[in-house]
Amino acid sequence: MSRNRKNPPGVDPKLLIKDATRLLSAPSRRLFLRGAASLGALSMLTGCDIVDGQTSENALRVISRFNDRVQALLFSETTLAPEYPESAITRPFPFNAYYNEDEAPDIDGDTWQLEIGGLVDNKKPWTLPELNALPEVSQITRHVCVEGWSAIGSWQGVRLSDFLKMIGADTKAKYVWFQCAEGYSNTIDMPTALHPQTQLTLKFDNKTLPTAYGFPIKIRIPTKLGFKNPKYVTAMWVQNNDAGGYWEDRGYNWFSGL
């Protein structure tokens, strides 16, 4: 395919789509073990049959859950992601999703509402003008994709911890779950939700968030990998059960902290 000029080197917007399609089209396939050469060599090295897909897949998932706990311990609510000057902003900032840019949800900002649910005192839905009237914070931070590439962007919006306190959320709850317009979702841990840089984002580069970057709102979390930064958010629930997420359910590590 021809290189999309809008992406930094190495970003192939079709890769994720391709991966997702392969995965979705064959739900029962062995996800983790392929490559005849490597498997043969691994069997020889270990002298045992660990190539049984389901066994190693289960073992890898157990270790991934262990890594979630290690990352939660490493996470510090006071350690801030590095911030950059405006000159460092990646322009144009890449669009990235498991679908093409022209397939991104086109949301009507006049009728859109943020639904609030779960362990929250005030579950009144929020309109875009109401959110825009709240005190604004700003950050220029690095978005790190699970694929390895990164890009620096400028985001403005409401500090999520302030918003959670304002709506009377139970901040002793374990998780915050986000539902998005196109069916995407994420669950994040409460310590990350309360991190000072975690932001309910309304603007990119001081302008209304464009469709490509998640209009009307995205959740910007500079302490997590990009796929843990949901766009086109329509609902936010505070809860004690882990509702998983789009990519987390497909094998990416749940915590995915930076």
Partner 1 sequence: MTIEAANHSPIARGLASGPLIHPLWVRVTHWINALAMFMMIGSGWQIYDASPLFHFLHFPTQIALGDWLAGALLWHFAAMWLLVINGVVYIALGILTGRFRRKLLPIRLTDVASDFIAALRGKLSHDDLAVYNAVQKLLYLGVLLAGVVIVLSGLSIWKPVQFKWLTAVFGGYDRARYVHFFAMASIVAFLTVHIALALIVPKSLRAMIFGRAAGVS
Q: Which parts of this chain interact with partner 1 (CB under 8 A)?
A: 9-12, 15, 19, 22-23, 29-38, 41-42, 45-46, 59-61, 63-64, 67, 74-76, 79-82, 142, 144-150, 222-223, 247, 250-253, 257-258
Are the C-beta atoms of residues 217 and 172 closer than 8 Å to each other?
A: no
Least separation in angstroms between CB 34 and partner 1? 4
User: 190: burial class by Cβ within 10 Å (0-12, 13-18, 19+)?
Assistant: buried
Identify which of residues 216 and 257 has a Cβ nearer to partner 1 in the complex: 257
Identify which of residues 79 and 206 has a Cβ nearer to partner 1 in the complex: 79
Least separation in angstroms between CB 156 and partner 1? 20
Identify which of residues 149 and 232 has a Cβ nearer to partner 1 in the complex: 149
Least separation in angstroms between CB 147 and partner 1? 4
Cα–Cα distance measured from residue 38 to residue 33, given in angstroms and rounded to the nearest whole number: 9
Least separation in angstroms between CB 243 and partner 1? 19
Least separation in angstroms between CB 36 and partner 1? 6
Which residue's entry shows tokens 């997590």? Answer: 224
Identify which of residues 46 and 240 has a Cβ nearer to partner 1 in the complex: 46
Identify which of residues 37 and 183 has a Cβ nearer to partner 1 in the complex: 37
Query: What backbone torsions phi and psi does residue 7 show, to the nearest 5 degrees?
Result: -105, 145
Return the HEC string of 56-109: HHHHHHHHHHHHHHHHHHHCCCCCCCCCCCHHHCCCCCCCCCCCCHHHCCCCCC
